[in-house]
Amino acid sequence: MIYLDANSTTRPTERVRAAIARADESLWANPSSVHRAGQEVRREIELARDHVCTLIGGSKPREIVFTSGGTEALDLAIRGSVAARAGTVPTLLTTAVEHAAIRDLGEELAKLGVVKRELLALRSDNSGIIDEHAAREAIARAGRGSIIAVQWANNETGAIQPVREIANAARAAGATFICDATQWVGKCPTRVREDAPGADEDLCPCDALICAPHKFHGPKGVGILWLATSMRLRPTLLGSQEMGRRAGTENTSAIIGAGVACEEAAAWLNDAAIRGRLAALRDDFESRVLAQLPWAKVHAANRLWNTSSISFPRLEAEALLLALSERGVYASAGAACSSGSLEPSPVLLAMGIPEHEAHGTLRFSLSRETTPDELARAAIIIAEAAEQLAKIK
């Protein structure tokens, strides 16, 4: 198996799996219980919270809220922020290239009349990256009380948004900035505090940040929401857990596993050379594919080291995915299944990618475990499968 679908999910590490097994075996008590067994579990959860805080460059572990996943964390941040503005209809600024967790929620809230939804303009170069100048003007117009929800890195193309500049514009306008960092955290250094050590590209001084450990070799079933102390949020589930910000008995095993994943990711991120080598492997993989298929096209903006979006014009992404799967290469389509047919990705179309290219676009995404040999073999298999399908067409 050659697994090139890391932006979808990753394999939990051995330490993560062991931590989850230990939790299931001996840390099954309710962490809200005052007895010793419950408090032992509580200590493990708070240790995990501390590891999360360290990974994202937070200030205090209590800023971290555990949810059931990244989608719920985004829903809580956006819906909770809107609810905190009761009596007003705030402007929600987002983009047409967001993950469906933001895109669909924004459309639903606009239909309900609780927000006025506006889309930030993208640059005209088909990169899918926000036009910074236009964004600053739009945020200033929306003004105090508005909400901005933008992803740090795109899940389909890896395109990196200018989140630091958006955060600064939001602060100047008195707006709230919610950053979807699901594809960023654990793959690149992150800091939400300006006084935390790191490079400029690591900084996102937002009001809320979301990530999901299963994107960096942690477990599914747990999401992470970081909240600045100034963030106004009304819970959507009422209860006493998570300091009253998200109700429900905690998913102890997943949270403990997430803490280990964050600890491991923080250690891995200390060596920038590793990410450089993996980015070079990604680039070599793309060169190998294009050398065999000169009619294919790589969408290469400023992007994550692990993501490759390649169009195979006139081919159907679903057919190519199935052909690759039969040959042991696993990837994803930049598309959404609708009514039994594979429609072009709204993200790619919003970027200005022609429909015939968007319809045949695949996403190949690397993890920390991806090897040079796997990528070299994958390039050959991809070329063979695409050529065979092209002859049929």
Residue 185 has what DSSP assignment?
A: B
**Tens-place pLDDT, residues 76-116:** 999 999 999 988 999 999 999 999 999 999 999 999 999 99
Cβ pair 225, 65 in contact under 8 A: yes
Domains and CATH numbers, the chain: 14-268 (3.40.640.10), 271-392 (3.90.1150.10)
What does the mean pLDDT of the chain come to? 95
- CA–CA gap between residue 315 and residue 388 (Å, rounded): 11
- Which residue out of 179, 204, 211, 337 is catalytically annotated? 337
| CA pair distance 179, 151, nearest whole angstrom | 5
337 is catalytic: yes
Write the CB contacts of 57 (distance below 8 Å, at least 6 apart in sequence): 189, 190, 191, 192, 193, 196, 198, 202
Q: Tell me the whole-structure pTM to 2 decimals.
A: 0.96
* CA gap 67, 247 in Å, rounded: 9
Placement of tokens 């989608």 in the chain: 71
Write out pLDDT tens, residues 255-283: 999 999 999 999 999 999 999 999 999 99
Instruction: Give the mean model confidence (pLDDT) for residues 172-199.
Output: 94
Q: Encoding tokens for residue 249?
A: 């008995």
Q: Which of 283, 287, 363, 281 is nearest to 320 (CA)?
A: 363
Cβ–Cβ < 8 Å for 264, 53: no
Residue with structure tokens 């857990």?
A: 241
